[in-house]
Homo-oligomer: A and B are copies of this chain.
């Protein structure tokens, strides 16, 4: 186990009707003027946005609005939000939505007190040293952004989809999580969220760090819970218990509880970000294609931890043939993804002839000639993985 810092100061308020507490929570966390960030209409149609505004009004907190954040959120909306927040003098950015909305809110929160271009943070030209407060009313369990200090934004001009991780400053001060708010999610989006949270765990789990028993068990347990609850929620979108278990699992998957002390390996996420940036696919669906491909490659080249994963997560019988165990785990993972309606190949993702040259080129331009930690991968190896997803 490596030395680490674990710092998850977010106040999570979880359960039925909790969105009505947003006004008092904003007050408690010191908001005096709020920028309300949301997406493309569903929070308006469902009446949630109205309830949030009412609660802020009752608490006497003024607010301005920035709607229209898209999936795979883009830089232009961040610039718009930074201008608005500066003009209005807001001190808290309140995201009402899923990962795209929250990540946009975080980018705005970091960008407002910074003199330069907020994109500097994402290309590692500058570090975030100050930020407005961020708070969340979550509607999509997937990205885990409600408990993390991470944000992923796409720069449209260069098709770069890049991330930052600033736990000290960009973790939400509070996150409201009402599973009922997820009842109306379309099945495809529910399923893509399930894949995303599983990937957040698995990219922490596959590590060469020694002595990771507690981290492993927390990862495996959370994966088991997701695998158990997913079919329930696909069968009945209004199953409160299943929605609640998935919603909390999505947070646990990404606030650092899983994987403490591990050297992590986010290669699958980075490989998927290139696909999303070029083809604008749903992030979780892209991961359902890439993660099994990455794991298949590992089965042949570095099967050790994959065999443990096979045994403990997928109940694959233990044998001396670790590669066979690992491949069986891949088969069960793919079958699971298919069972919840997710694609597991580029073609199923709607990309008949992916431009693998471009994906490999962009990946290594963004992330360097060598990517990965569980296994180090050059252009030859990442090409092989993209090809395994055909």
Which residues 1-43 in A have Cβ within 8 Å of B in the complex?
Answer: 1-18
> Interface centre among A1, A12, A16, by most B CB within 10 Å?
A1
A347 in contact (CB, < 8 A): no
A1 touches B221 (CB 8 A): no
A208 in contact (CB, < 8 A): no
In angstroms, Cα B12 to Cα A15, docked, is: 27
A213 touches B245 (CB 8 A): yes
Which residues 154-193 in A have Cβ within 8 Å of B in the complex?
Answer: none
Give 28 CB contacts A-B under 8 Å. Answer: A1-B15, A1-B241, A1-B245, A2-B15, A3-B14, A3-B18, A4-B14, A5-B12, A6-B11, A7-B10, A7-B11, A7-B12, A8-B8, A9-B11, A14-B260, A211-B241, A211-B242, A213-B225, A214-B222, A217-B222, A217-B224, A217-B225, A218-B222, A218-B252, A221-B221, A244-B261, A248-B261, A252-B257
Q: Which residues of B lie under 8 Å from residue A216 when comparing CB positions?
A: 225
Q: Which residues of B lie under 8 Å from residue A2 when comparing CB positions?
A: 15
A229 in contact (CB, < 8 A): yes
**How many whole Å from A67's CB to the nearest CB in chain B?**
29
A148 in contact (CB, < 8 A): no
A235 in contact (CB, < 8 A): no
Which residues 215-268 in A have Cβ within 8 Å of B in the complex?
Answer: 216-218, 220-222, 224-225, 228-229, 240-242, 244-245, 248-249, 252, 257, 260-261
Q: Which residues of B lie under 8 Å from residue A214 when comparing CB positions?
A: 221-222, 225, 229, 245, 248-249, 252
**How many whole Å from A202's CB to the nearest CB in chain B?**
15
In angstroms, Cα B217 to Cα A98, docked, is: 25
Measured CB to CB, the nearest residue on chain B to A171 is B9
B211 touches A221 (CB 8 A): no
A14 touches B213 (CB 8 A): no
**How many whole Å from A157's CB to the nearest CB in chain B?**
38
In angstroms, Cα B222 to Cα A13, docked, is: 24
In angstroms, Cα B29 to Cα A9, docked, is: 13
**How many whole Å from A380's CB to the nearest CB in chain B?**
35
In angstroms, Cα B8 to Cα A221, docked, is: 20
Measured CB to CB, the nearest residue on chain B to A212 is B245
Measured CB to CB, the nearest residue on chain B to A244 is B1
Measured CB to CB, the nearest residue on chain B to A21 is B5
Given contacts A1-B15, A7-B11, 5 further A-B contacts (CB under 8 A): A5-B12, A6-B14, A8-B8, A211-B245, A218-B252
A6 with B12, Cβ < 8 A, contacts A213-B245, A218-B221, A222-B214 known: yes
Q: Which of B7, B8, B11, B260 contacts A5 (CB 8 A)?
A: B11
Q: Closest 10 CB pairs between A and B?
A: A3-B15, A211-B241, A221-B221, A217-B221, A9-B9, A214-B225, A6-B12, A1-B244, A217-B225, A7-B11
In angstroms, Cα B187 to Cα A325, docked, is: 39
In angstroms, Cα B221 to Cα A377, docked, is: 32
A261 touches B14 (CB 8 A): yes
In angstroms, Cα B122 to Cα A39, docked, is: 48
